[in-house]
């Protein structure tokens, strides 16, 4: 379903994860989340790419990122380095903010792509941070399953960054309701989740404290 590949490969979709060094917090307050989202915007301006899903946890993040003409390494360096510099300056830290490199897994078929999107949007639920994915602010799930009411700044910016066409295209009539059922329904996805965890090298030790 998926495999790791050298990062000079353009025009591909990757499940990307990066985590705080020694499980450290990456975002201490809302301004940090907003700054990181701004770093994504600026990286996209320099090296255009598509985001299909996104979730910023407190000590790691997940994204489904599709490269266009540039390799993934350039994109991630342009995204993570400025944030690290800003974070360290703000909190008077030195050294590495992120644990070594990010992890990136090449997505090679549409079913796995949908499972990755589901996995990303359920990450805060699996971590017991919220009871339902729509309750988590720093996730793109709200763009796929909209709710009425005022939206916070981070939610608005995430919705501007993320495209839904490819994910929703996997469901009849691009149905948001079918996607919601796919993500939140009672059908077990245990085997697929275990494969994704193996591919992305994630386990329970990386859940936020």
For residue 165, give the nearest of 208, 110, 128, 112 by alpha carbon: 110
Closest CA to 54 of 111, 136, 138, 133: 138
Q: Compute the distance between CA of residue 154 and CA of residue 160 in angstroms, rounded to an integer.
A: 10
Query: In this predicted structure, which of 43-52, 59-68, 143-152, 181-190 has the lowest mean pLDDT?
Result: 143-152
Residue located via tokens 């350039």 = 74
- Non-local (6+) Cβ contacts of 194 within 8 A are none
pLDDT of residue 162: 97
pTM of full prediction above 0.85: yes
Nearest alpha carbon to residue 25 among 55, 57, 3? 57
**Do the beta carbons of residue 108 and residue 1 sit within 8 Å?**
yes
Would you put residue 9 in left (φ > 0), alpha (ψ -120 to 50) or beta?
Answer: beta
List pLDDT tens digits, range 166-179: 999 999 999 999 99
Backbone angles phi, psi at 38, to 5 degrees: -65, -35
Q: For position 207, what pLDDT does the model report?
A: 58
174 Cβ contact list (under 8 Å, min separation 6): 165, 168
pLDDT at 205: 56
Average pLDDT over residues 98-118: 92
Percent of the chain clearing pLDDT 70 (strictly above): 91
Q: What is the pLDDT of residue 204?
A: 61
- Asked whether residue 209 is assigned to any structural domain, the reply reads no
Looking at the domain assignment, is residue 185 inside a domain? Answer: yes
pLDDT for 1: 42
Q: What is the pLDDT of residue 120?
A: 97
129: pLDDT confidence band, cut at 50, 70 and 90?
Answer: very high
What is the dihedral angle through the alpha carbons of 173, 67, 152, 31, rounded to the nearest 10 degrees? 170
- Parent domain of 109: 2-202
What's the number of domains the chain is made of? 1
Could you give the strand order of the β-sheet that contains 103-107, starting from the edge strand earlier in sequence?
2-3, 103-107, 13-19, 60-67, 49-56
Q: Are 17 and 102 in contact (CB under 8 A)?
A: yes
CA 175 to each of CA 122, 181, 198, 201: distance values in angstroms, whole numbers, following the listed order: 19, 10, 30, 31
In a domain, 171, yes or no: yes
Q: Report the CATH number that the domain containing residue 128 is assigned in CATH.
A: 3.30.70.1290
82: CB partners within 8 A, 6+ apart:
39, 42
Which pLDDT score, from 0 to 100, does residue 150 have?
A: 63
207 in a domain, yes or no?
Answer: no
Select the more confidently predicted residue: 147 or 204: 147
Decide if 164 is inside a domain.
yes
208: in domain = no
């Amino acid at each position: 379903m998926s495999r790791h590949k050298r990062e000079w490969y353009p025009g591909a979709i990757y499940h990307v994860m990066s985590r705080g060094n020694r499980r450290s917090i990456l975002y201490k307050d809302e301004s940090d989340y907003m700054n990181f989202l701004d770093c994504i915007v600026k990286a996209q301006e320099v090296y255009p790419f598509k985001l299909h899903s996104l979730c910023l946890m407190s000590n790691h993040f997940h994204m489904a990122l599709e490269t266009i003409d540039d390799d993934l390494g350039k994109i991630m360096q342009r995204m993570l380095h400025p944030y690290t510099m800003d974070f360290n300056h703000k909190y008077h830290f030195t050294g590495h903010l992120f644990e070594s490199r990010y992890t990136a897994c090449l997505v090679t078929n549409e079913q796995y792509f949908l499972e990755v999107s589901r996995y990303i949007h359920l990450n805060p639920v699996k971590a017991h941070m919220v009871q339902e994915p729509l309750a988590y602010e720093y996730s793109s799930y709200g763009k796929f399953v909209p709710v009425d009411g005022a939206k916070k700044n981070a939610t608005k910016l995430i919705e501007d960054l993320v495209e839904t066409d490819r994910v929703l295209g996997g469901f009849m009539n691009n149905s948001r309701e079918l996607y919601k059922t796919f993500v939140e329904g009672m059908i077990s996805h245990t085997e697929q989740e275990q494969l994704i965890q193996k591919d992305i090298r994630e386990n329970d030790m990386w859940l936020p404290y």
